[in-house]
Amino acid sequence: MDGNVLNPLYWLALPFVGKALGQSDRAFWVKVWLTSILAVGLPLGQQPVNAQDVDAQDAGASALSFESFTIEPSSSLGDLTFDHPLLQPFQVDFPSPFDGYSRHGDPLDGSVGRVGHQPAIAQQPDLDLDPAIIEGSPVLQRWLQGPPDITHDIQHQPSFRPRLRVGYAHFPSTDSIGGIALGVEDLFVLPSTGLTISGDYSRGRRGLRQDYGAEARYYLLPLGGYVNLAPTVGYRALTTPTYSTDGLSLGLRLMVVPSRGGAADLAISHQWVAVGGDREVGLTRFSLGYAVTGQLRLGTDLQFQNSQFGQDSRLGLSLEWLL
């Protein structure tokens, strides 16, 4: 057998030499395939071949264990004394690299990792911070009490907040008259649950347009997420110059929260009023809110009202107070 066969460099160069010598494409790619297998399979260093070698490696590593030594200031400093604690003699303890650990770095007794028989996570030191900084940072206050449970927060802490709304209503489909709009959104019935109640009232000039109602919403997804979906059920009454209706309302609401805590959110909802009756009406509504301070938001909503009697619309601009 040719001695070059055992040389990895021979196999790395063989495909390209063979191609240059005019060998067939099939033979060329077979050599490339074999070369790739050999190149990937080349050991990068000495590897243990059996369990005894692994045990020997661990035993050799454990032999490096030593206890401690003392660091003294240099004798060339004479009789000088040092007031700074870092310049005083001190002792350094070095545990064995494998003391209480498996070869993969996991604690053998299932406990937290140890350094010199002390917990790896030490007591939290006192922060040398201005008390005003701590008082002005709710996040820092919470972390000083203990690390938060992020999973619990996502499941139970809402990314949106209840709010009161007061503003101006405009009715383009009814001679562009103006009016007022009031409302309350997403008051939580029980903490840490997805059940909320909401209500609103709007009225145009001379009573030509009127819309009021209340509904319960149950958010199906984790409250701390960026997207949520809620079926709605409630009561609603509508009045226009051509018809009026009222009754049970059923619907669905989609919430998109790009910024948690009430800073911004978008809601799209659709509901059917007087379901199953001859005066059934469909309402589609788009609402957008954006915070300008920690408690105050600007809000806008656009509503389309469809029935067999015609189509109507409403545009609202409001101030919202976060609860």
Q: Does residue 107 sit within a domain?
A: no
Query: Is 15 inside a domain boundary?
Result: yes
Q: Using one digit for the tens of pLDDT, what is the confidence trace for 278-305? A: 899 999 999 999 999 989 999 999 999 9
DSSP state of 116: T
Q: How many structural domains compose the chain?
A: 2
Is residue 30 assigned to a domain? yes
Q: What is the DSSP string of 56-107?
A: HHHHHHHTT---EEEE---GGGTT----SGGGS-EEEE---TTTTB-TTS-B
Does residue 291 contact residue 264 with C-beta atoms inside 8 Å?
A: yes
Residue 47 lies in a domain: no
Give the Cα separation of 35 and 65 in Å (integer): 44
Buried b / exposed e over 236-257, threshold 16 CB at 10 Å, is: bbbbbeeeebbbebebebebeb
Which pLDDT tens digit goes with each residue over 221-273? 999 899 999 999 999 999 999 999 999 999 999 999 998 888 999 999 999 99
Question: Is 295 among the domain residues?
Answer: yes
Range list of β-strands (E), the chain: 68-71, 90-93, 114-115, 118-119, 163-171, 177-188, 195-204, 210-218, 227-239, 244-259, 264-273, 281-291, 296-307, 310-322
Tell me which residue range forms the domain holding 37.
Answer: 3-41
**Pair (171, 313) in one structural domain:** yes
pLDDT of residue 271: 96
Q: pLDDT higher for 193 or 199?
A: 199
CA–CA gap between residue 76 and residue 195 (Å, rounded): 77
CATH number of the domain residue 286 falls in:
2.40.160.40
- For 4-29, the pLDDT digits (tens) are 545 555 555 555 555 544 555 555 65
Asked whether residue 131 is domain-assigned, the answer is no
What does the angle CA 43 – CA 39 – CA 103 come to, to the nearest 5 degrees? 25
When comparing pLDDT for 190 and 13, which is higher? 190
- The average pLDDT across 147-164 equals 81
Which letter, b or e, does each residue of 44-54 get, where b requires 16 or more Cβ atoms within 10 Å of its Cβ? Answer: eeeeeeeeeee
The two structure tokens encoding residue 34? 């074999």
Judge whether residue 122 has pLDDT over 60.
no
Whether 124 maps to a domain, the answer reads: no
User: What contacts 293, CB < 8 A, 6 or more positions away?
Assistant: none
Does pTM surpass 0.75? no
Residues 253 and 197 sit within 8 Å (Cβ to Cβ): no
> Is 80 among the domain residues?
no
